[in-house]
């Protein structure tokens, strides 16, 4: 791999400040050419228990550091990440497949959470509350929840970890991270830089594994872990929530989505086309906030389709490391099979093929587009998670809102329009945690990221993000 800082490419995991190998290992494969990148330890129950013990033991000293000290270390981590941005982006593209420009953007985006929570570390304020009697004072203090487990997906292997670990460390929590089997290298590279930045031994531990179920069970069942922060599918989120119930852990669940993208008749169509492309095709369509269902008003339906078609035809699928590629490969064969299944099923039920998504060599899939999609098709109910745009027609706002909310998910929603009264009405009635209005990009450190319904609960980033990692204690002080 063409990186300057060779220390970033790790073949070991991090437990209690030790870079460790394991009796077993598994291979990390480049999804573009299926070549072996490197092998990493295949950890199991015993390594996970060691990592939990390390996080448990180091919690006392880490939470007792001054907020300023934790803040300084997070700043140092942020600086190192940005200094190594190019190498980190190369590692990310090589293990995950997304184009290098997006990988660089992900590193900067993830780093922005570390900087933000370096700032927030100093602002974990409490409250004083007037007591019920003259002799009583009530004081609210905020304390770190304890050691945290973070389980993260492959689609944003760096940013999903940063969004969890930055607020956790800022609040005084320690952590055990379990990255996805497909993409452990970004997590290990970040952990190496965390160590260089001065994060003490045991505060941050990374367990790599091909057996997520076993490691997950150990993390969920252990009472020393006080919080689980999970990003991934709704199906796995529900399993983990159930597994955490005996230990009553605090939970954050950042789960799947099925985002509607709505184009109203008074929208700026060119802007709407650009917003749709940005939302739909980022990471080759593999984001939880990708426009999954594109609803277009009947009066502009044909015009919108024509303009979108022209743009989609120009999207080149290729190696993420080549500068003219606009989308890289999908993550694995199951992802390719899923998009193909949804496309074929929609076609068999009457969807009109505008651009056929073609499976090229390996896991590369070209960008596709279908129209006249309806809610009896699987593609309306499931995350496509691939480069296929699905267009639906609507005629009234009430019909459109009913369709947009006709899903168990509630993560992101988008619409394009201009009438302020209509904008308020639609924004307030969309059942989702985040709404993009006249934009296809909503992820941003200053805003609370998270969903409702089966997209989970908890918020990442913004002034709200730190709350997930602290607990409230109130002191009732009797002065008499």
Instruction: Write down the catalytic residue from 120, 288, 383, 468.
Output: 288
When the beta carbons of 287 and 325 are compared against ligand NAP, the nearer one is 287
Quickly list H helices, 198-287: 212-221, 234-244, 269-281
DSSP 3-state of 116 = helix
Is residue 30 close enough to count as binding ligand NAP by CB under 6 A? no
Q: Which is nearer to ligand NAP, 114 or 151 (CB)?
A: 151
Half-sphere exposure of 407 (CA within 13 A, CB side): 33
Helix (H) / strand (E) element for 269: namely: helix 269-281
DSSP for 77-144 reads HHHHHHHTHHHHHHHHHHHH---HHHHHHHHHHHHHHHHHHHHHGGG---EEEE-SSTTEEEEEEEEE
Q: Which residues contact 47 (CB under 8 A, 6 or more apart)?
A: 13, 15, 20, 22, 41, 207
Q: Is residue 242 annotated as part of the catalytic site, yes or no?
A: no
Note if 47 is an active site residue: no
Pick out residues in 360-419 that bind ligand NAP (CB under 6 A): 383, 411
- Name which of 258 and 319 has its Cβ closer to ligand NAP: 258
Cβ atoms of 379 and 390 within 8 Å: the answer is yes
**Which one of residues 157, 202, 232, 357 is an interface residue with ligand NAP (CB under 6 A)?**
232
Residue 174: closest CA among 58, 2, 301, 295: 58
Q: According to the binding rule CB under 6 A, does residue 231 interact with ligand NAP?
A: yes
User: HSE of 192 in the Cβ direction (CA atoms, 13 Å)?
Assistant: 19
Cα 349 → chain centroid:
33
Q: Least distance from C-beta 327 to ligand NAP, angstroms? A: 17
Q: Do the bridges between strand 409-410 and strand 452-453 make them parallel or antiparallel, or are there none, so unpaired?
A: antiparallel
Name residue, tokens 């060779």.
Answer: 6
Question: Residue 106 forms beta bridges with which residues?
Answer: none
Count the site residues for ligand NAP by CB under 6 A.
27
Find out whether 332 and 182 touch, Cβ atoms under 8 Å: yes
- Single out the segment in contact with ligand NAP by CB under 6 A; choices: 14-22, 188-196, 250-258, 392-400: 250-258
Token pair of 53 as six digits = 């013990």
255 binds ligand NAP (CB under 6 A): yes
Q: Determine the residue with CB nearest ligand NAP.
A: 216
Active-site residue among 53, 95, 102, 254? 254
Q: Which is nearer to ligand NAP, 256 or 357 (CB)?
A: 256
Q: Which residue has the tokens 């730190």?
A: 466
Among 167, 256, 357, 436, indicate the residue that binds ligand NAP (CB under 6 A).
256
Residues numbered 271-290 forming contacts with ligand NAP, rule: CB under 6 A:
288
* Smallest separation (angstroms) from ligand NAP to the CB of 239: 5
Q: Which of 155, 252, 292, 319 binds ligand NAP (CB under 6 A)?
A: 155
Binding-site member from 51, 173, 180, 273 for ligand NAP (CB under 6 A): 180
Which window, 9-17, 168-176, 227-235, 303-311, contacts ligand NAP (CB under 6 A)? 227-235
Other Cβ atoms within 10 Å of 446 Cβ, number: 9
Span from 47-55, 109-117, 152-160, 194-202 in contact with ligand NAP (CB under 6 A) = 152-160
Q: Which stretch binds ligand NAP (CB under 6 A): 64-72, 139-147, 230-238, 468-476?
A: 230-238
**Closer of 52 and 296 to ligand NAP (Cβ):** 52
Q: How far is the CB of 416 from ligand NAP (least distance, A)?
A: 23
Backbone torsions φ then ψ of 255, nearest 5 degrees: -110, -160
- CA dist 289 and 384 (Å) reads 11
Residue bearing tokens 């990493």: 40
Pick between residue 354 and residue 430 the one whose CB is nearest to ligand NAP.
430
Is residue 216 a contact residue for ligand NAP (CB under 6 A)? yes
The answer for 356, left when phi > 0, alpha when psi is -120 to 50, beta otherwise, is beta
Q: Report the C-alpha gap between 417 and 438 in whole angstroms.
A: 7
d(CA 389, CA 387): 7
Return the range that interacts with ligand NAP (CB under 6 A); candidates 1-9, 136-144, 194-202, 234-242. 234-242
- Check residue 345 for interaction with ligand NAP (CB under 6 A): no
- Under the rule (CB under 6 A), what is the footprint of ligand NAP? 151-156, 160, 178, 180-181, 212-213, 216, 231-233, 236, 239-240, 254-257, 288, 383, 411, 451
- Give the active site residues: 254, 288
């Amino acid at each position: 791999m063409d990186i300057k800082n060779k220390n970033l490419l790790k073949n070991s995991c991090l437990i209690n400040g030790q870079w460790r190998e394991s009796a077993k290992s598994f291979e990390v494969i480049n999804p573009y050419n299926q070549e072996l990148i490197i092998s990493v330890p295949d950890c199991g129950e015993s390594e996970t228990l060691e990592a939990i013990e390390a996080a448990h033991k180091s919690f006392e000293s880490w939470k007792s550091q001054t907020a300023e000290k934790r803040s300084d270390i997070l700043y140092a981590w942020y600086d190192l990440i940005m200094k190594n941005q190019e190498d980190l982006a190369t590692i990310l593209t090589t293990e995950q497949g997304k184009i290098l420009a997006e990988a660089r953007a992900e590193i900067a985006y993830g780093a922005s959470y570390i900087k933000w929570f370096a700032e927030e570390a100093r602002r974990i304020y409490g409250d004083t509350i007037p007591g019920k009697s003259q002799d009583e004072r009530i004081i609210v203090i905020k304390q770190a929840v304890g050691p945290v487990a973070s389980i993260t997906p492959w689609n944003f292997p760096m940013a999903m970890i940063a969004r969890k670990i930055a607020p956790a460390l800022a609040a005084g929590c320690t952590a055990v991270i379990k990255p996805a089997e497909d993409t452990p290298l970004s997590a290990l590279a970040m952990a190496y830089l965390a160590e260089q930045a001065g994060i003490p031994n045991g505060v941050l531990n990374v367990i790599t594994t091909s057996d997520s179920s076993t490691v997950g069970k150990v993390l969920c069942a252990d009472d020393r872990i006080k919080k689980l922060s999970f990003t991934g599918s709704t199906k796995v989120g529900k399993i983990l929530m159930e597994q955490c119930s005996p230990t009553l852990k605090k939970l954050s669940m950042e789960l799947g989505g099925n985002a509607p993208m709505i184009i109203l008749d008074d929208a700026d169509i060119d802007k709407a086309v650009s917003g749709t492309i940005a939302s739909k095709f980022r990471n080759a369509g593999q984001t939880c906030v990708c426009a999954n269902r594109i609803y277009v008003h009947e009066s502009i339906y044909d015009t919108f389709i024509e303009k979108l078609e022209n743009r989609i035809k120009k999207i080149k699928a290729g190696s993420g490391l080549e500068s003219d590629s606009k989308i890289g490969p999908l993550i694995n064969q199951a992802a390719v099979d899923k998009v193909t299944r949804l496309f074929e099923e929609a076609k068999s039920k009457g969807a009109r093929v505008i651009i056929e998504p073609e499976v090229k060599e390996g896991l590369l899939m070209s960008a596709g587009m279908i129209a006249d999609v309806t809610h009896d098709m699987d593609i309306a109910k499931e995350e496509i998670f691939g480069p296929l745009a699905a267009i639906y027609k609507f005629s009234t706002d009430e019909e459109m809102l009913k369709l947009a909310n006709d899903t168990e998910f509630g993560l992101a929603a988008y619409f394009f329009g201009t009438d302020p009264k209509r904008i308020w009405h639609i924004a307030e009635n969309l059942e989702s945690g985040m709404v993009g209005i006249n934009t296809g990009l909503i992820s941003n450190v200053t805003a609370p990221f998270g969903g409702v319904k089966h997209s989970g609960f908890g918020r990442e980033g913004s002034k709200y993000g730190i709350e997930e990692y602290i607990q409230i204690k109130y002191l009732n002080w009797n002065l008499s």
